[in-house]
Amino acid sequence: MKKGVFITIEGGEGAGKSTLIEQLSNTMIQKGRLVMTTREPGGIPIAEQIRSVILDRGNITMDARTEALLYAAARRQHLVEKVVPALEKGTHVICDRFVDSSLAYQGYARGLGMDEVWAINSFAIQNLMPDLTIYMDASPEIGLSRIKQSAEREVNRLDLEKRSFHERVREGYMQLLKKHPDRIVLINAEQSPEKVFCDVLTVIEQRFAGFFATDVKS
């Protein structure tokens, strides 16, 4: 039975997810919380290998359905090998991307259909959904400009898509936000990192009262 809290961070390219996750993790550790950060696709050796195939800039001929299936496969292994065991031990998990990414990117932006992509992922995740999803909303113009300015950020196959693709991704996330307002919370990611972090802390405290108030490991 799941004991830890499962939080996922979503957003388009260059939204600032990595910065937020690091801030959240550090704060939770300071408060004595058991926390694990991870990412999708990836987080474990098998999923990281699948990630290298998906994001390889040379794989420009990859079929959209193949892409969706690879994401689901990586997600499944990541869950059973890393995420679920951590949650069952009472560790809180913060994950960079989860099923909403597949729905927005492959389901909506690639045009495969959200219901179709959900069917693939429903089989993979077996009804395990996040307790809270933070959607970092930023325009593609701002997000992609951040990537170009960052020397440390890897440039992958998705970064090379046309602006129209990233705009559809954002539209897809908005559709998900309307469909799951009880789980997904929009954060203005065009603000300063400090303001974004403050807004996210407020959301978490409202959702899980006293989450950052205890210094006892839990």
CATH number, domain containing residue 47: 3.40.50.300
Kindly state the average pLDDT of the residues 174-198: 97
Instruction: Supply the pTM of this predicted model.
Output: 0.92
Residue-wise pLDDT tens digits, 34-54: 999 999 999 999 999 999 999
**158-194 exposure pattern, b = at least 16 Cβ within 10 A, e = fewer:** bbebeeeebebbbebbeebbeeeeebbbbbebbeeee
Q: How many domains does the chain have?
A: 1
Q: Is there a domain that residue 153 lies in?
A: yes
Q: Is there a domain that residue 215 lies in?
A: no
Residue 182 predicted with pLDDT over 80: yes
Q: Is there a domain that residue 183 lies in?
A: yes
Q: Is there a domain that residue 125 lies in?
A: yes
Q: What's the rounded Cα separation, in Å, for the pair 37 and 10?
A: 14
Q: Show the domain range for 53.
A: 6-207
- The two beta strands, 184-188 and 132-137, are parallel
